[in-house]
Amino acid sequence: MKAFNKIFSKNYSNKLVNICKNSIEDIKSSGAYKVERVLQTPQSMEILVNNKKMLNFCANNYLGLSDDERLINVAEFGLKEWGYGMSSVRFICGTQTIHKDLERAISRFHKKEDSILYVSCFDANAGIFEALLTPEDAVFSDALNHASIIDGIRLCKAQKQRYNHLDMNDLEEKLKLTEARVKLIVTDGVFSMDGDIAPLDKIVNLAKKYDASILVDESHATGVLGKTGRGTPEYFNVEKEIDIINSTLGKALGGGCGGYTTGNKEIVDLLRQKSRPYLFSNSLLPFVAKGGMEVFRIIRDSEDIFQKLNESTRFFRAKISGLGFKILGNFDCPIVPIMLGDEKAAIDFGMEMESEGIYVVGFSYPVVPKGQARVRVQISAGHTKEHLEKAIKAFETIGKKTKII
């Protein structure tokens, strides 16, 4: 190790490296140090980790499409047909017919006029606020919005208002007291830590009352909520009232990568002119664009997949709370936080579940407030009844053993 360091470290100042070392020590002593867990198989319901077969309950693979044969075949064909990469941003020579086709498929799915593709939804969020808003405008953001929304807002010069999580009184107060040319309300559709859903019906009412626009980040909701998977706006039956939707192809929709903004055509056109992650970053890989179109084809033809996801979600939630666990979130949300109490309980619980072959993640302080440690389960339409029952049984066994229930 010493010799290795000698070869690869420069021999004068190590100031930055030492600072990093100290920061890592701090993170470790706070208990927040993250260790990557390494899968030895494709992403699926049954995976291999540390040479052990596990049932996976912690992926964003809500429709079980990550290793879907149809997607693999289309992507493989797309790779041969369209080549590996674009070597260009979109506006120079990085747009192929498949990128335009995918944008049309996205618009059609969300019933919007136009769409713009990014390599990730993080990029969509990073680019949108600065491109659309000026210091004359104001943005109203839920306190628990995703990190990429927070960063995107930081990059813009609009007035910034953060309202308490899901708190419509607080939002109204802030809308009422703020003078601005454009008022833009932004919220996650589904919040991934607490498994709750933004009350879009109420947000729409406030937007009408205070002449505001609405941007919803549907990353955990597209392909998840609603009878046909159109997300939170469909769930609340307010699709027309939502001005802008940002979402990802990296979760329910195949779990590959790619993000997008969809909405009014002038908004999308302005983003193509001004959004920096769009203008200054490479195009989506052609075969991923091809795969994305296949995802929209698959979900258009299979409404039953959303019904199955919803039934499994309700079944799991009912069984787990029936066992005496305290769970958070909306009963239609496949993200199920199961509360365990103190930090040590969460760590022990996670390890016991792992030995039962159930793969779940534990969150404890400082990621969530002290004393609110939890494991987060994510249900997928790819889980069979047997998978669900095995997980429920493990929760019962370990819950009793650790005296949580």
Kindly list the residues in this chain that would bind ligand PLP in the complex (CB under 6 A). Answer: 120-122, 125, 146, 148, 188, 192, 217, 219-220, 248, 250, 259
- Considering the candidates 66, 141, 192, 275, report the single residue annotated as catalytic: 192
192 belongs to the catalytic site: yes
Q: What is the dihedral of CA 190, 195, 201, 207, to 10 degrees?
A: -60
Report the residue number, 188 or 239, with the smaller CB distance to ligand PLP: 188
Report the residue number, 44 or 120, with the smaller CB distance to ligand PLP: 120
CB of 216 to ligand PLP, least distance (A): 10
CA angle 15, 20, 25 (to 5 degrees): 125
- Please compute, for residue 219, the number of CA atoms within 13 A of its CA located in the half-sphere on the CB side: 25
The pair phi, psi for residue 30, each rounded to 5°, is: -80, -10
- Considering the candidates 99, 112, 251, 383, report the single residue annotated as catalytic: 251
* Number of Cβ within a 10 Å radius of residue 51: 6
CB of 257 to ligand PLP, least distance (A): 6
Of the candidates 276, 289, 268, the one whose C-alpha atom is nearest the C-alpha of residue 86 is 289
Report the residue number, 196 or 217, with the smaller CB distance to ligand PLP: 217
CB of 7 to ligand PLP, least distance (A): 36
Cis preceding linkage at 233, omega within 30: no
Report the residue number, 250 or 362, with the smaller CB distance to ligand PLP: 250
Q: Is the dihedral of CA 54, 59, 61, 67 positive or negative?
A: negative
Phi-psi region of 164 (alpha: psi -120 to 50; beta: other; left: phi over 0): beta
DSSP annotation of 268 reads H
Percentage helix, strand, coil for the chain under 3-state DSSP, each rounded to 5: 45, 15, 40
Phi-psi region of 329 (alpha: psi -120 to 50; beta: other; left: phi over 0): left
CB of 223 to ligand PLP, least distance (A): 13
Report the residue number, 149 or 158, with the smaller CB distance to ligand PLP: 149
The pair phi, psi for residue 183, each rounded to 5°, is: -110, 120
Report the residue number, 103 or 188, with the smaller CB distance to ligand PLP: 188
383 belongs to the catalytic site: no
CA distance 241 to 249: 23
CB of 95 to ligand PLP, least distance (A): 20
Q: What is the dihedral of CA 82, 87, 89, 94, to 10 degrees?
A: -30
CB of 390 to ligand PLP, least distance (A): 27
29 belongs to the catalytic site: no
- Considering the candidates 220, 290, 383, 387, report the single residue annotated as catalytic: 220
DSSP annotation of 282 reads P
What's the token pair of residue 160? Answer: 């910034």
Report the residue number, 36 or 69, with the smaller CB distance to ligand PLP: 36
CB of 200 to ligand PLP, least distance (A): 14
| Residues belonging to the active site | 192, 220, 251
